[in-house]
Chain A
Amino acid sequence: MSGLDGIGVKVIDAGGDGSARAVLREIETLLTVLVEKGEEGSIDLSSLPLTPEAYDLLEETLGEGEVTAEVSSLGVTRVHETGIPGVWWVTHYNEDDDVMAEFIEVTHCPEILLTPEDDVKDGLEALRARLFEENMNKSSVE
């Protein structure tokens, strides 16, 4: 039971949209760069003084896209492509589910989804080891 409800606090819209419109303009600029030069860009949302209304406006304008992904490493990272292809929303959570950092990434695919080069090599080795083990097991059964 929290006594907070008893406190007469009203939240009234300060007017304006916080920084949402500025962020949307920046996304437009970054997207233009991606289209014309192929350079990727991103915006650090956690460093901006965004009000809940600004967040809503941002989410509303960008919409939902086709891809949703979840990366489990050092807590969860939720990635989804917005309704604007090439604009991704990346939220890093820690193990307590608090937001560690939040980015808008303007890219063909966010880096966190790509398998790192070294991991591919490690993977190949791991697979070979597993196949070798299986072969050994088979031959020992025969």
Chain B
Amino acid sequence: MINTHFLNIELKSPTVLASGILGLTASSMQRVIEFGCGAVTTKSFSLDWRTGHKNPSIIPFEHGMLNAVGLSNPGIDEMVKEIRLFRRQCTAPVFASIFGRTLDEFGEVTRRAAEAEPDMIEVNISCPNVHSEFGQPFGESCPDTAKITQIVKKHAGKIPVSIKLGPHGPGIGKLAKICEENGADAITAINTAGPGMLIDINVRKPVLANKTGGVSGPAILPIAVKSVYEVYRSVKIPIIGTGGITKTGDAIQMILAGAHILGVGTAVYYEGIEVFDKLNKGIENYLKEQGFDSIEEIRGAAHE
């Protein structure tokens, strides 16, 4: 496997479980590690538990997936327990994905999450399917992005922070720059795109209970690659390239665009949990065939 350095964290492979996929419990995350995943990201959690949206909340379509889970989570007390349990059972790094309803809540969740000593805190400011409740995602506003980055950094202590951005809003390069200027240690790009909608033609109603939801999977790969490309151009901090990575070629494109490590989520549906092993081997083979010794040699190569 390809050992990877990221923010002084040692990963056994460059593929990381993306937030929202199989990240609810220690048992679940540990199983993913057994399939070659280099680090796990928890499901996004908040101070208080949330039921999220009704079902259907996750629906595959021909070219990807549409979801409006609605940030359901058991709340920080439960999630801190699961992170600690994972720590006891597994040596792989764990990233805590957090969100808040208000700027202050972002600070409080960060402070509490830091107590569980995750290897990194990922800050979800770009969920596209809680619009009716939260309004426009914080991550689509430059001032809010700056404020949240500051608050989170203040409460995270020595734990590094990555801000998770979406492909929409005032430009992902510009937003990433704001994060960097306000102390972010990394950028996770991108969240799900959209929101989008699917309508059933027999009952003539939107399929998702929430009507709209974020788009993931192969459909958004080009958007994700372009977003990572833009972020790489605008900041020096490392990027967790996420969005539509399913096959080896997708992963390589992300690295060429400038990704440091790779978030993999929806691909678990297409390829099984084995997708982590498959991607790791695929990346290794590509490097060998093309005459490279490490990922570093090709990172951002598409910019040259």
Same complex origin of A and B: no
By a beta-carbon cutoff of 8 Å, the part of chain A in contact with chain B is none
By a beta-carbon cutoff of 8 Å, the part of chain B in contact with chain A is none
